[in-house]
Chain A
Amino acid sequence: MEETKVLKVSHLDVFYKNRKRKLFSGKKKVQALFDVSFDMDEGEVLAIAGESGCGKSTLARAIVGINKDYEGAMWQKYEGPQMVFQDPYNSLNPSKKIGWLLEEPLRVDKKKKWTPEERKKRVEEIMTQIELPMEMLDRYPSQLSGGQRQRVCIGIALMRNPKLLIADEPVSALDVTIASQIMELLSRIHKNLGISIIFISHDLRVVYQISDHVMIMKNGRVVEYGDTKEVYKNPKEEYTKQLLKAAGIKE
């Protein structure tokens, strides 16, 4: 039977090291996620929603492997999941040009040696996909707007054709019209490339537009998980109801 799941997480506990730097203080860990379990189908959009500090980003960081300090099982069908960060003003290296930044994932690719021509061709493909003009390759991030930067971030994440993309609040730092353009871009990419996307957001309206399944989190635990339409129609948990109400979706 062919595997239809792209990601399986079971009983995941994630920890953070205590950041206090003192010579003789013992290392204390802070637990940020408690017993998180879910599966994700290939090609779906899974939304993770919840208030700030509920552990959404922590989960994302554990999945892509930035934070390796976790217990429990995590299985991924493909290697190299990529991530788009929340703040486009801080996730592009200010001293590099856009073209250089887009090429970097290919330059450090361990699986394939890319020749300069291949790299250039791939960069042009991606620029078309993220709908930016080629002249921007020669600009620095500071010369781009927030929306354009976020497009570049998405482009960098897509360079090596990942099968799983995690978007950590990709539009919350942008204003409304730009945000909806980025959302459209993401759903177009999802349709065209058939990649699976984990979409993290605190905005339940945005979540409804894009996701197939939704997972509501609070204080590091999963509160509710299910089909997005189903959850929005019949929220089972009190917390989900509150969130929907706060978003103006449910009375």
Chain B
Amino acid sequence: MKAFLKKLKKNPYMIAGLIITGLIVLMVIVGLFWMPYEPTKMSAGEKLQGISLKHIMGTDNMGRDVFSRVMYGSRITLLIALGTVTIGVVLGTIIGALTGYFGGILDEVVMRIIDAMFAFPSILLALVIVSVFGTGWAQLLMSLGIAFIPSYARIVRGEVLRCKGMDYVESARLQGVSQFRMIFVHILPNIKGVLASSILIGFNNAVLAEAGLSYLGVGSQPPYASLGKMLSDAQQYMFTVPSYCLCPGIVIVFIVLGFSFLGEGIRRWK
């Protein structure tokens, strides 16, 4: 614990990342139990209000409390980001580890498929999946998750290739370590640092992609909020009630900033 604090002191990125991400997570956790208003409750008399003590982020075009909706929307956005990154990392790691370790024809074929997926914009892929399976956040999760696999597969494959040439792998092989054990017990723990910082970058991309897709109208559906959806609803009122679009926008910026700092902090962790 003491060593941890000492390392933390030398790492301003980690401190900033932990504080920002901590606040966002705190807001989401508090939102699970208490919100100032019901996020879907409309109120005809309080439409499009600016910032006030009663509504600290104002209200939207249907009189709903923006702060409550931001609390709820951050939860949805973070859940989607978490799910997306989990799908991408788990499948990407397995694919990357197997192709990197075994190489040969399997590697060639799978890597060409990955290349093809890279060439395909992930937003477009998500739109295709959503138009086949319908809109909703489960579809969004699936499409973004699949779109995330290639980059993780690439990263893991490269790292596995690097580790595979090390003497400790040959030494383990001499002792009779099975191939499965070699990949998952001997090699993968050595790439956790690289993986951790790319997971946080992935988190960022997922938050932004979710916001982008919801903005395009294929994410979570009304009356429920996600941060991207709120932005797209708010754009008509940008000049009349600036707080309506600024507040969710700033929260997105802080989520992304927090994860970026955390990623940088992990990279510099020594």
User: A residues near B, CB below 8 A?
Assistant: 23, 64-66, 80, 82-83, 85-87, 90-96, 104-105, 108-110, 153, 156, 159-160
Contact = CB atoms under 8 A, between A and B. Distances in A.
B223 interface: no
A18 B199 CA distance: 36
Given A85-B171, A108-B181, A95 B189 contact: yes
B170 interface: yes
A94 B166 CA distance: 11
B175 A105 contact: yes
Contacts of A96: 186, 189
B41 interface: no
Contacts of A160: 175
Nearest to B103: A21
Contact of B174 (A64, A92, A95): A64
A93 B186 contact: yes
By Cβ-Cβ distance, the 7 closest A-B pairs, closest first, are: A91-B167, A95-B189, A105-B175, A85-B167, A93-B168, A90-B167, A95-B190
Contacts, number: 54
B178 interface: yes
B181 A66 contact: no
User: Which of B167, B177, B181 is packed against the most chain A CB atoms within 10 Å?
Assistant: B167
Interface in B149-166: 166
A156 B171 contact: yes
Contact of B108 (A23, A93, A159): A23
B177 A104 contact: yes
A76 to B, nearest CB: 14
Contacts of B166: 90-91
A108 B171 contact: no
A85 B172 contact: no
A91 B172 CA distance: 9
A159 B172 CA distance: 13
B222 interface: no
A221 to B, nearest CB: 25
Contacts of A153: 171
17 contacts: A64-B174, A80-B176, A82-B175, A83-B174, A85-B171, A90-B166, A90-B167, A90-B168, A94-B168, A95-B189, A96-B189, A105-B176, A108-B176, A108-B177, A156-B171, A156-B175, A160-B175
A90 B162 CA distance: 12
Given A23-B108, A93-B190, A95-B189, A109 B176 contact: yes
B181 A91 contact: no
B173 interface: yes
A94 to B, nearest CB: 6
Given A23-B108, A93-B190, A95-B190, A66 B174 contact: yes
Interface string B174-194: 111110010000100110100
A64 B175 CA distance: 10
Contact of A104 (B167, B170, B175, B190): B175
Nearest to B186: A93
B195 to A, nearest CB: 12
Nearest to A65: B174
Contacts of A91: 166-168, 170-171
A85 B166 CA distance: 11
A104 B186 CA distance: 10
A196 B229 CA distance: 73
A80 B174 CA distance: 8
Nearest to A109: B176
A142 B16 CA distance: 29
Given A83-B174, A91-B168, A153-B171, 16 more contacts: A82-B175, A85-B167, A85-B170, A90-B166, A90-B167, A91-B166, A91-B167, A91-B171, A93-B172, A95-B189, A95-B190, A108-B176, A108-B181, A109-B176, A156-B175, A160-B175
A95 B176 CA distance: 19
A188 to B, nearest CB: 22
A87 B173 contact: no
Nearest to A96: B189
Given A91-B167, A93-B190, A95-B189, A104 B172 contact: yes
- Among B170, B171, B178, B181, find the residue whose CB has the most chain A CB atoms closer than 10 A: B171
B184 to A, nearest CB: 12
A75 to B, nearest CB: 19
A236 to B, nearest CB: 35
